[in-house]
Amino acid sequence: MGNTGVVLKRELASYFATPVAYVFIVIYLIMSAAFTFYLGSFYEREIADLEPFFTFHPWLYLFLVPAIGMRLWAEERKSGTVELLLTLPITPTEAVLGKFLAAWLFIGLALFLTFPIWITVNILGDPDNGVILAAYLGSWLMAGGFLAISACMSALTRNQVVAFIISVVVCFLFLLSGLPMVLDVFRGWLPQPLVDAIANLSFLVHFSSISRGVIDLRDLIYFVLVIGFWLMANRIVLELKKAD
C-alpha cells in the first residue's frame, strides 16, 4: 500500500503505545455485554439471536467512535506535527487513508473481541450464524461511517474536546434522520422524494436492514459513499489548512 501502509502501521502502533487502546477496548466490551445481557433482556427473551447486542451498537458508536476519531488530526495540529507530516513525500490522500484505516482496524479489533457473546448464543441455542455474521459486517461498516465523520471534524480544530462534540452532533443527526418523528417535521413542506432522501441518510435504516441478514447492495453502497464523502472532505480540509 506504499505510503498509506506506512502511515497505517505508525498509527496502529501508536494506539497500543499508550493505555488509551486498552481502556477503549475494555469499556467497549463491558458496555456491549451490559447492554446485551441486562438492558437487552437477553435471557428473558428466550430467543437464540444477537438482536439485543446489535440494537445498541449505533448508540455505543455515537460516543465511543468520536472518542477515537477526535485525536486523529486535532492532536497533530495542536502539536504542530501535521505540518511535518504533510511536508514528507506523502500526499494528503495517503495520510487521510492511512490514519482512517488504522483507526477502523482498531475498532474492528474491539468488535472482534466480542466473539464470546457469539459463542454464548451458540451454546444456549441454535442461532442463524449467517445473520449474525452479516450484522457484524454492518456494524463495522457503520463504525467506519462514524469514524470518517469524526476524522473530518478532527481536522477542523486543534481542540480534541471540540472535535468530539461536533462529531457526536453530526453523527447524531445521521442517526435521527430516519426516525418517523423527524420525517414528520419535513412531510408538511417538502416533496415526498426529498423526505425519502432524508430518510435514506440514516445509519439506522441501512444498519437495521443488514443486521437482519439482508445484505442489500444499496446498503453497502450507502456506507461506502458515506465513508468516501467524509474522507474526501477530510482531505479538502487538510489542503485548506495547509494553504493557510
What is the DSSP track for 39-74? IT-HHHHT-SS-HHHHHTHHHHHHHHHHHHHTHHHH
Range of the domain at 132: 3-243
Report the chain (244 residues): mean pLDDT per 10 consecutive residues: 82 85 90 83 74 89 91 74 67 88 94 91 86 93 95 89 92 81 69 75 86 86 93 88 60
Q: How many Cα atoms sit within 13 Å of 85 on the Cβ side?
A: 25
Q: Which residue has the cell 438492558?
A: 39
Q: For residue 108, what pLDDT is reported?
A: 94
Q: For residue 153, what pLDDT is reported?
A: 92
Total domains, the chain: 1
Q: Are the C-beta atoms of 52 and 35 separated by less than 8 Å?
A: yes
Q: Are the C-beta atoms of 28 and 110 separated by less than 8 Å?
A: yes
Q: Which residue has the cell 495520510?
A: 95
Those residues with Cβ within 8 angstroms of residue 70's Cβ, 6 or more apart along the chain or in another chain = 150, 153, 154, 160, 161, 163, 164, 167
Give me the amino acid identity at 150: S
Distance CA 103, CA 7 (A): 11
Distance CA 205, CA 184 (A): 16
Q: Are the C-beta atoms of 238 and 95 separated by less than 8 Å?
A: yes
Residue 78 cell numbers, joined: 495542536
Q: For residue 78, what pLDDT is reported?
A: 67
Q: For residue 192, what pLDDT is reported?
A: 74
Q: Are the C-beta atoms of 166 and 156 separated by less than 8 Å?
A: yes
Q: Are the C-beta atoms of 40 and 55 separated by less than 8 Å?
A: yes
Q: How many Cα atoms sit within 13 Å of 217 on the Cβ side?
A: 0
Please, is 54 exposed, middle or buried when counting C-beta atoms within 10 Å of its C-beta (0-12, 13-18, 19+)? buried
Distance CA 131, CA 169 (A): 31
Distance CA 167, CA 43 (A): 35
CA 32 to chain centre: 15
